A and B are shown apart, each in its own frame.
Chain A
Amino acid sequence: MTAAGVMTAGKGAAPSRIFVPVLIFAPCLLVYLVFFVWPQLSLLAVSAFDRGQVSAAHYIRFFSDEYYWELLGRTLFLGVSVTLITLILGVPVAYVIARMRSRYAALLLVLTTFPLLVSAVVRSFGWMVLFFRDGVVSNLLLALGLIDQPMQLMYTLTGVIIALAQVLLPLMVLTLHGVFKSIDPDLEHAAMSLGAPPWLALWLVTLRLAPGGIIAGSLLVFSLAISAFATPALVGGARANVMATTIYEQTIELLDWPFASALSAILLVFVLLISLLYAKALDRRSAGEAAS
């Protein structure tokens, strides 16, 4: 492909306009095809065979078993919860940093990304200290009188959701920050002078203008959350099984590659499906400005 591009581009006096972009994209595309598309396709192929014959057996096994539905449901629930939490926490943080006129804003933004610099394993050990029945979180809530018995977050889905939300929050903040930064603050000022309290101005104007960023941030967080392995495995333990940990189990422990492939394929399809629906829904809400 690259060679063809070079030849045509070199021969013609006026090389077709399309070749320059092709030339620029070729290396990336090649890497993408060889290291991503091809393995994915072969993975899909593996899942469609059973004892040497084309078969839907692995998919039937999945969809006819309520356990796997539950697994899928739990995984999607994890993804949705983490996305919502990071969105709810991320919007104010990103917004405040984007609107700060201080030179510390950049520093603050860098600080928020710190969790990304720590390996998932190390971070998970940190969560252990917080999450065990006798851990910081439990003791704090006890001291505050919010709970009357020690609470165990370690080895629970709730723990995984909290831990993942913390890890992925920076990605949400970074994405949203860029978008908020590009929205003229005078739009909010205009809304406020017309009678909208600040929060309403944020809601009616800024957030309506940020669906692109919200979609991008949410999809990023969602897909990373449902494919995360280390955190669910370490913080969730045995009880917070999700698709990723099950795929690992099927691949490494049980050596059932075809079924693991089927699980991966199903996860992929659901991610794509949810992404599409979400993007559509958000897009429709802000259909107006796309009109021009």
Chain B
Amino acid sequence: MGLDRVSRRQFVSGLAALGSLPLLPTGAAAAQDFAGRSLISSGFGGSTMDIIQKAVFDPFDKATGARSTQVPMQSAAALARLKSEAGNPQIDMYQFSGGQEDVAKKEGLIQPLTAVSQLDDIPVGLRDPDGSWVAWAVIAEGILYRKDKIKEPPRSYRDFLKPEYKGHIAFPAITNGYGVDFLVMLARAFGGGEDNIEPGFEAMKKIKGETIFKAASDLPSLFGQGDIWIIPYDSGNAFKLQTSGLPVGFATPEEGSPAVNITAVVAKGAKNADVANAAIDYMLRPEAQIEIARQMRWTASNPKTKLPADLAAEVPDVSQLAKLNRALINEQRAQWIERWNREIAR
């Protein structure tokens, strides 16, 4: 049913849909018969897991006859589980949001995605060159702002230094992943980058007196109180705030959106590796990705996905993502935190 509805909407949305239509058969070709088979995947828990279940796994089950279940666990815990069950995995497929796929690959815990037909469609940064993992969705970061206070949507990370926002800015602490990305993007906006963080610190020092928070859970209070107008965060949380009735908009900065990859991998030796491959392939399908974009405002990783116009305005396109050098960032993170604690939080 979900699939039908999606297809129709997609069709109606016009030109964009035409582009993706020829692909449908490719995906459909993979729609083998998995009747009586089951698939166990790790999941993110909470409402996110439920939405993913309804938007992706349920239609997949319907199309193939498989029975998919997600087991909730945090990414770090998921990696630990994968490690502890190495050789005899009870969970076939894992989803990560914190870059754990790199470790999993290095430690030989996962197997290449052999039967994901759309893998090559995914841009290079969003899939493993060796095909060990793929980002089936991306959480794009950007600028959240109060639409009632800021009429002209912000365009750039440089806007955080605008005098008219003084006293109305909040940003995440550096221990929050988005806090690091904000620092890096500020550096980029002012001529630096991962390898030259200085401009980032220089810029951040100018707003060090603003509100600094640590957790996403503070967002509703921050925006709800009315005196905070602009915060660097992500499109998913922007959507949650909107759903709760706050007049919050999401702007994709011209420097690009740093992003968190939502990746999928297949455990080495998974009993249902074939089902997992098919499921991942299903996740990459434009109609699945549109549904995820619709319900969570996550960016589609498959460039062939053409979002309807209303969604497209609120969810950055994969081409708008800024590619951060995570390795370089991670190398310097401890040092930056020390410096940040001294120069910004003090």
A touches B (Cβ under 8 A): yes
Q: Which of A127-135, A183-191, A263-271, A280-288 contacts B (4 or more CB under 8 A)?
A: A127-135
Asked if A82 is at the interface of the complex by the 8 Å CB criterion, the answer is: no
CB <8 Å contact, B345 and A241: yes
Once bound together, how far apart are the Cα atoms of A103 and B213, in whole Å? 46
- Chain A residues with CB under 8 A of B121: none
Known A-B contacts A249-B175, A256-B334; the reply to A233 vs B212 at CB < 8 A is no
Interface residues in A82-129 by Cβ distance below 8 A to B read: 125, 128-129
Identify which of B212, B222, B342 contacts A238 (C-beta below 8 A). Answer: B212
Interface 1/0 per residue, A219-239 and B, CB below 8 Å: 000000000000001100111
- Chain A residues with CB under 8 A of B102: none
Known A-B contacts A135-B225, A249-B175; the reply to A237 vs B213 at CB < 8 A is yes
CB <8 Å contact, A150 and B227: yes
Asked if A67 is at the interface of the complex by the 8 Å CB criterion, the answer is: yes
- Chain B residues with CB under 8 A of A241: 341, 345
Interface 1/0 per residue, B241-267 and A, CB below 8 Å: 000000000000000000000000000
Asked if B211 is at the interface of the complex by the 8 Å CB criterion, the answer is: yes
Interface size class of A (residues with CB under 8 A): 20 to 34
CB <8 Å contact, A249 and B215: no
Known A-B contacts A129-B221, A133-B227; the reply to A234 vs B215 at CB < 8 A is yes
Once bound together, how far apart are the Cα atoms of A233 and B218, in whole Å? 12
Total interface residues on B, CB under 8 Å, equals 23
Interface residues in B292-346 by Cβ distance below 8 A to A read: 333-334, 337, 341-342, 344-346
- Chain A residues with CB under 8 A of B226: 134
CB <8 Å contact, B218 and A238: no
Asked if A148 is at the interface of the complex by the 8 Å CB criterion, the answer is: no
Asked if B214 is at the interface of the complex by the 8 Å CB criterion, the answer is: yes
CB <8 Å contact, A254 and B337: yes
Once bound together, how far apart are the Cα atoms of A67 and B338, in whole Å? 10
Once bound together, how far apart are the Cα atoms of A93 and B173, in whole Å? 39
CB <8 Å contact, B225 and A237: no
CB <8 Å contact, B214 and A238: yes
Known A-B contacts A67-B342, A256-B334; the reply to A239 vs B212 at CB < 8 A is yes
Top 5 nearest A-B pairs by Cβ distance?
Answer: A238-B173, A238-B212, A134-B225, A132-B225, A128-B221
Contact surface of A with B, Cβ cutoff 8 Å: 67, 70, 125, 128-129, 132-135, 150, 152, 154-155, 233-234, 237-239, 241, 249, 253-254, 256
**Interface pairs (11), CB distance under 8 Å:** A128-B218, A128-B221, A133-B225, A134-B226, A135-B225, A154-B221, A233-B214, A237-B173, A237-B212, A239-B212, A249-B337
